[in-house]
Amino acid sequence: LNDEGVDVVVNNQGIGGERTDQALKRLNADVLSQKPAIVVVMYGTNDSYIDIGRSEPRITADAFEANLREIVRQLESQGTRVVLMTAPRWGDKATPNGAGENPNSQLEKYLERTRMVAESGKLPLIDHYKLWSDARTNGQNISTWMTDECHPNPEGHRQLADAILPILRKELSR
């Protein structure tokens, strides 16, 4: 954006491994206190994961949705515009979760909740999961976009950025 002459400051407050309940606990101190114009929010992977030795996700889908709605509510209450994103899909060779399944099977339920929150709040949505799924369907080996069948590598981050940029341009022009 800066290369295009758009004067923006990007402040990444994301924390790897974080869930929505943890995000809510630090939202005021780490995000709201900075009075951002736009906040891009992406959760789901860590909330939905079933740890080895467990049979349930770390956070229920209902709690995830409630937390996400509360994050949006708090941001919008101070006039911040919110852009929601779905997490990208796990690779086909991902280590099975505690239920013995590919983690996408749980993640999909949470991303549907993200889509519902975006729709009900009339919020922009960047659906990385769909984009990566479509690329996979069209023959792209999305594993080449990840370090470990989950975390994006530099090419995966390029794919994420390429999807984010047009939405940010649009939001910044408002």
Q: Is 69 exposed, middle or buried (0-12, 13-18, 19+ CB in 10 A)?
A: middle
C-alpha–C-alpha distance, residues 114 and 109, integer Å:
9
Least confident of 3-7, 100-104, 113-117: 3-7
pLDDT at 174: 83
User: Could you give the 3-state DSSP secondary structure of residue 126?
Assistant: strand
Question: Beta partners for 83?
Answer: 40
Answer whether residue 34 shows pLDDT above 90.
yes
* Percent of the chain with pLDDT strictly greater than 90: 95
* Percent of the chain with pLDDT strictly greater than 70: 100
Whole-model pTM: value is 0.95
